[in-house]
Amino acid sequence: MTVLVGLKCMDGAVLACDSKETRANYYRFWPKVTFVGGSFVVLYAGNPTLGEVFARRVDSSIYRARRNGQIDRSKAAQLVDEVLLLLAKDAGEDAVKGRQIMIAGTADTSEVCLWSVDAGEIYLREMRNWECYGSGIDAAEMLMKDFYFPEVTTQQAIPLLACVIRSVSEICIDCGGPISVIIVDQQGIKKLTSGEVKSALKRLRPLLDRLRKELPRRVLRGEKVQLSHYMRKNELR
């Protein structure tokens, strides 16, 4: 299994995931980020083979459609929905409904696209303020409730999501391995290097851990707490 987290930001979005793939009686570390169509990225939890097939089909569909002109946000969503429906027909609806998917990217018209496909569904929907998927969903949701604030930027979100993935990996045996972090904005998509992710964690995780311990006490004392202000005060930017 895995843990995926997506977070909408003021200037785009940041997505992150672990790399541990568990199958029956063994596991391996395997990239769970697939770039498709030149300007989109797919992250998935659930059946890895089905996820890989889905990504390849989306990739082919986008490239074919571009032969007839630019792809705007609406057209991109239509193409992904068509792939999902065809995959459900080929593999069975139950198989497709057994996985969770995040899709993000930039249309040819510079529109940022942020979509999710829930377990039990075969259609796209808009990504919420944040999304957590995979076997580590409960722990990830708990952390995101502590860390989220509306005016978060992509640069602030990078260490936040990296910290969430690392923390979940430490308590969930089905999660772990190298962390992938992707930034999405009007300029396109960018995957951080492993060195950039490690640097963000090393520099900021102690502060984030302290933050989670101090905030509840301040709330219980009746203080009005604004997480964004607290983060800026502690130079998390």
| Amino acid 212: pLDDT | 63
List the one residue out of 129, 133, 189, 183 whose CA is nearest residue 159.
183
Q: Are 192 and 31 in contact, with CB atoms under 8 Å apart?
A: no
Mind listing the pLDDT tens digit for each residue in 12-41?
A: 999 999 988 766 666 666 778 999 999 999
Confidence bin at 179 (pLDDT 50/70/90): very high
Q: What is the mean pLDDT of residues 61-65?
A: 96
33 vs 131: CA distance, rounded Å:
16
Confidence bin at 99 (pLDDT 50/70/90): confident
Sequence spans of domains, the chain:
3-140+168-193
Q: What is the mean pLDDT of residues 67-91?
A: 96
The topology (CATH level 3) of 3-140+168-193 is Glutamine Phosphoribosylpyrophosphate, subunit 1, domain 1 (3.60.20)
Mind listing the pLDDT tens digit for each residue in 137-158?
A: 988 998 888 778 888 899 989 9
Q: What is the mean pLDDT of residues 206-231?
A: 57
